[in-house]
Chains A and B, each alone.
Chain A
Amino acid sequence: MIVLVVTLAILAMLIVGYRMGVGKALSATGGQARILHSRPGYYGTYTALWCALPACALMALWLIVQPMVIAAMIRGGLPADIRAMPDEDFDLVMTAIRAIAGGTPPSNVEPYMEAAAARIGELEILGQWFMAPLVLIVALAGIYFAIRHIVPDLRARNKVESVVKILLIICSSIAILTTVGIVASVLFEAMNFFSIIPPQDFFFNPVWDPGFARAGEDHTQHDFGLLPLMWGTLFISFIAMCVAAPIGLMSAIYLSEYATSRVRSVAKPLLEILAGIPTVVYGFFALTTMGPFLNTFGDTLGLDIQASSALTAGLVMGIMIVPFVSSLSDDIISQVPQAMRDGSYGMGATRSETITKVVFPAALPGVVGGLLLAVSRAIGETMIVVMAVGAAANLTANPFESVTTVTVMIVKQLTGDNEFSSPQTLVAFALGLTLFVVTLCLNVVALYVVRRYREQYE
């Protein structure tokens, strides 16, 4: 509550500071804006930044440090026997106290806990009452400082722009750091897994049979083989690409070379609607329509096609990727300069000769890059396969049998009720890491190829 009020107050002061900055800059030159080093608005922004940045930094710091200080104070106030507890139990007590203070008391509340929780509440309010005036004073001091410094020669624009640049750098490093954090956490858990199961038993084991975790059990009787899962993933992706590559490319060629602009303006958005369908919807299309259909269709041909076969998932996934392939290839084919086509038509080539012999070869590197991106999407796709394929980890080349994929098993192992530290759960991180590395490599190669292609025509 107090935080909200303080924030609003800073906001108001920021606006006032802006006005004051502009006013000071103008009055310092007697109203002649041309003498100023920067345009008046920059002096306003300069003042506003001095008002808001230190105050906000102080507030953020305070809000981070305050709970730590309070925790330390609470700890000192607890009975001696509680303080003597081992670390793990003590952490549980602290969690319970925090829960009481937060208004969701656990079942076993003891009197000393309630006392501590009440004290937390008091301290928090006290802390915030200290913080509010301090922050506001800093904000005011910022304005005062900035206003005092405004003279016509002040390089306000350069200062504002360097602050903006720093803010932008901070934002982009947040994105990068998040990625690093995700990779690090997956890596960390995967290391835990590999300390229980040696890597060669994961990467080169043709059997997947993780079983269930039981206390005090020897894990070596279970099999955590990556191969059948990776095979399933690649197999389904391959089927998907067999569907998506020709259909996507042909429709891209039609759209970019044959379609009149009227057809194009209707067909392209329609194709892109396909890309907007949530994958879970494709999932139940596979589950309720495609699977049974292929099953009965197989019966009429005398083939035994399982409803949850690799074929089902591959076909549906292929349909999902079609718009991705086609819109990417369409962009790339349209980038081939018109001069190439004119040159070919001018030689008396027909439209199809022009496309197959000039336009498509010219676009090929980019198209290949686009297909690689599509493959990495297929490999990482989860929802369709979770719904459409079974959990049978078969190492089979028969598309009518069911296989399972890396992503399906990640979901299954993580949502199962195995203990978190068991290899049965941790294997999900090893699988995730493998998947991450594979798709990362594909993406890097694909982006490199596409970029090389772009440069060729720029």
Chain B
Amino acid sequence: MTATMTVESRSSAPAAMPAVDAVKMASRGTEVYYGEKRALHGIDIDVLEHEVLALIGPSGCGKSTFLRCLNRMNDTIDVARVTGEIFIDGKNIYDRDLDVVQLRARVGMVFQKPNPFPKSIFDNIAYGPRIHGLAEHKDELDAVVEKSLRGAGLWEEVKDRLPEPGTGLSGGQQQRLCIARAIAVSPEVILMDEPCSALDPIATAHVEELIDELRQDYTIVIVTHNMQQAARVSQKTAFFHLGDLVEHGATEEIFTNPRDERTQGYITGRYG
């Protein structure tokens, strides 16, 4: 995949990386404006395959904004305007000929608040495969639903109540349902915006374990306010501050030996 990359990776030295660390997504000079207001200032970062990238930073620094750039969810906001380039497997996702529907099937998203559709558990999972025509027959669909729920670690809990409404599950179960819903369309990248902020510690632990397992098959970008969580689940960490990407690199590096003093201030809890 690196061979087809049109952009050279600047942040991490590709030569030093093992072959498995191919660049999955890359952002070059991404800027976002909400009306006149610039929320992101030229973000350059790579997301490597089968890695978890954690985005941290004080509230309002643009983490969600950047995450939403990666699957063009900012298109749904009238006032938002994105400039710069974002690549997936070397292809610019803001190209005219790129279909945003296909992009979002490849780059799935899990939101801060669990947002199951007011449908049955089964239909929640089957929603994506149905609209993308991934499963034609009932038994294919059944298989996809089971696989996704197993993947999200929810199958044992809900296998007997698939026709019941998804909104009837507990908060933690709902969030895992949303993760299952996202992986049901077999995306390549999963974006998670503070997926555990509405969950209790036990449900959080569940989801964190899940993220680690999902890394085998997917590339994951996660926004979190929880430093321990970032340290636990991610391999790479990026620190945002007031719309700037201040620093990014291996999680261990960032947490034990931050180069920028703003990063140090934030992770030691001096502000944010």
Q: Is B131 in contact with A347, judged by CB distance below 8 angstroms?
A: yes
- Per-residue CB contact flags for chain B residues 104-142 toward chain A (1 = under 8 Å, else 0) read 110011010101111100000001100110000000000
Q: Is B113 in contact with A346, judged by CB distance below 8 angstroms?
A: no
Q: Verify if B103 is at the interface (C-beta below 8 Å from A).
A: yes
Q: Verify if A211 is at the interface (C-beta below 8 Å from B).
A: no
When chains A and B are docked, how far (Å) is the Cα of A446 from the Cα of B92?
50
Q: Is B78 in contact with A362, judged by CB distance below 8 angstroms?
A: no
Q: Is B73 in contact with A345, judged by CB distance below 8 angstroms?
A: yes
When chains A and B are docked, how far (Å) is the Cα of A261 from the Cα of B77?
12
Q: Verify if B178 is at the interface (C-beta below 8 Å from A).
A: yes
Chain B residue at minimal CB-CB distance from A349: B131
**CB proximity to A under 8 Å, residues B18-74:** 71, 73
**CB proximity to B under 8 Å, residues A336-378:** 337, 339-350, 353, 357-358, 361-362
Q: Is A348 in contact with B117, judged by CB distance below 8 angstroms?
A: no
Q: Which residues of A contact B (CB under 8 A)?
A: 260-261, 337, 339-350, 353, 357-358, 361-362, 456
Inter-chain contacts of B113 with A (CB < 8 A): 339
When chains A and B are docked, how far (Å) is the Cα of A341 from the Cα of B73?
11
Inter-chain contacts of B178 with A (CB < 8 A): 343
Q: Is A342 in contact with B111, judged by CB distance below 8 angstroms?
A: yes
Contact A342 B105, CB 8 Å, known A347-B131, A353-B131: no
- Per-residue CB contact flags for chain B residues 139-174 toward chain A (1 = under 8 Å, else 0) read 000000000000000000000000000000000000
Q: Is B131 in contact with A346, judged by CB distance below 8 angstroms?
A: no
With a 10 A CB-CB cut-off, give which of A339, A341, A342, A348 has the most chain B CB atoms. A348
**CB proximity to A under 8 Å, residues B73-117:** 73, 76, 78, 100-105, 108-109, 111, 113, 115-117
Q: Is A348 in contact with B119, judged by CB distance below 8 angstroms?
A: no
When chains A and B are docked, how far (Å) is the Cα of A344 from the Cα of B117?
8
Q: Is A348 in contact with B78, judged by CB distance below 8 angstroms?
A: no
Q: Is A345 in contact with B104, judged by CB distance below 8 angstroms?
A: yes
Inter-chain contacts of B119 with A (CB < 8 A): 361
Inter-chain contacts of B245 with A (CB < 8 A): none
When chains A and B are docked, how far (Å) is the Cα of A347 from the Cα of B102?
9
Q: Is B131 in contact with A348, judged by CB distance below 8 angstroms?
A: yes
Q: Is B78 in contact with A343, judged by CB distance below 8 angstroms?
A: no
Inter-chain contacts of A357 with B (CB < 8 A): 127, 131
Contact A347 B108, CB 8 Å, known A260-B78, A361-B118: yes
- Per-residue CB contact flags for chain B residues 176-194 toward chain A (1 = under 8 Å, else 0) read 0010011001000000000
Residue A347 contacts which of B76, B78, B118, B182 (CB distance < 8 angstroms)? B182
Inter-chain contacts of A346 with B (CB < 8 A): 71, 73, 104, 108-109, 111, 182
Q: Is B117 in contact with A362, judged by CB distance below 8 angstroms?
A: yes
